[in-house]
Structure 1
């Protein structure tokens, strides 16, 4: 080690660099990677967290934007191609549509097409929620490559938001199989009591890239509406996906 190096600072920067290269790392993983004891690792992570360079999500740590975390990747072609078709569907059914992309274990809202009834669940662009709580999060998870899906599911903290949230990994996996078969996902008061959402995936070059969700109170998004609107939504998303591939 050079006499000019500060050992503690170097360790902290090495940890930060590792978090920039990985989606998330637990304290134990960081300890093993750098051969540090638990106390030292905790103090370094605590300092980085207090300075705003990392944050804790469940049992793992992730780099923040201040710490070099990249912004959520959004396909600009998807952004402008989807607007006319989604606006048309929103006018037809009168409800708010939200587009979301998966970032680590979170679903991030990237677009909102407001219906005549105003915003429902996805209140603003940039808002985040656990992927398994939402219809569009589950719609993306269901159509991921099996290996990537499994890797993400291992990281998800299955914390129940309501009594209807899936908090059992086996049941969630079976639910995702059903979603893949039927072509759309349903959030049946899993994120918020009194609110239902249906969502369908968007594809680019054969891979799921985002999902579109219709959110409405249960009084409007009835079982009959689910059957009708899900067909319209799937057809709309298929049309957008076809345009994306051109």
Structure 2
């Protein structure tokens, strides 16, 4: 070891590198990998956890958003360019429309146009939902470039918000492939019971930049309407994407 190296700091960084590559590891896993004793390893993990670089759950230790958090670049232009298209579709279908972007394991709502029904889903800008259960989140994840998608997928914990939420990593990957083939994503009571949501990706500069969604109660957005509504929603997302490209060139 170089005379300038600090051994404890080096070990802490080695743990971070290891968790970056392996997602989740137990205390024993980390001890065995480095051939360190239990006391030293625990102290290092405790310090990193206390400083919020790592977190502990039932499966072991993993990086927090402080280290591994991926943020989708947000283009504020998406929020205001999308309003006319959102307003038109919302008035035609009567349901609330949304724009969302990814922030780590969550999708964050950045724009809302309320529906015309007296009873509707109430949301506010800044609301967050787990990306793996949200149509907004899945529509973005499915259309990401593989190198961009992988860091986001590594963070997902697949917690269940309802009995319908995906909690299997491999099945979720296949689900994203199906979304990419269809061109739209559905939240079928995965975030909240009694509520369905359909979303489509928005592209800017050749990459998925956000997603647009329509949401409402199951009684007004039943599966029987998925084909019709998804067609309208994809036309809406394509319109927004086209306007973004035009604004980007001007």
Q: TM-score, normalising length from structure 2?
A: 0.75
Task: Give the Å deviation of 1:226.
Answer: 1.8
Secondary structure class of the residue paired with 1:88: helix
Segments of structure 2 that go 5 or more residues without pairing to the other structure are: none
Contact 2:184-2:230 within 8 A present in 1 as well: yes
Q: Would you say the 8 A contact 1:142–1:177 is kept in 2? A: yes
Tell me the number of residue pairs that the alignment of Structure 1 and Structure 2 aligns.
234
Partner residue, 2:91: 91
Deviations along 1:62-104, one digit per CA (max 9) or x if unpaired, are 356xx9x898742121111101111111111111111111122
SS at match of 1:237: helix
Q: Alpha-carbon deviation of 1:61?
A: 3.9
Partner of 2:242: 242
TM superposition shift of 1:119: 5.2
Q: What SS class does the counterpart of residue 82 from structure 2 fall into?
A: helix
Counterparts of 1:1-246 in structure 2, within 5 Å, are 37-49=40-52, 59-62=61-64, 73-117=73-117, 120=121, 123-246=123-246
Output the CA distance in 1 between the equivalents of 2:87 and 2:130: 26
Q: Distance in 2 between matches of 1:211 and 1:217?
A: 20
C-alpha RMSD of matched pairs (Å): 3.8
TM-score by length of 1: 0.76
Deviations 1:140-178 (A, max 9, x none): 111111233233223311222222212222221221111
User: How much has 1:54 moved relative to structure 2?
Assistant: 8.1
Q: Secondary structure at the match of 2:159?
A: coil
How far does residue 56 in structure 1 lie from its aligned partner after superposition? 7.0
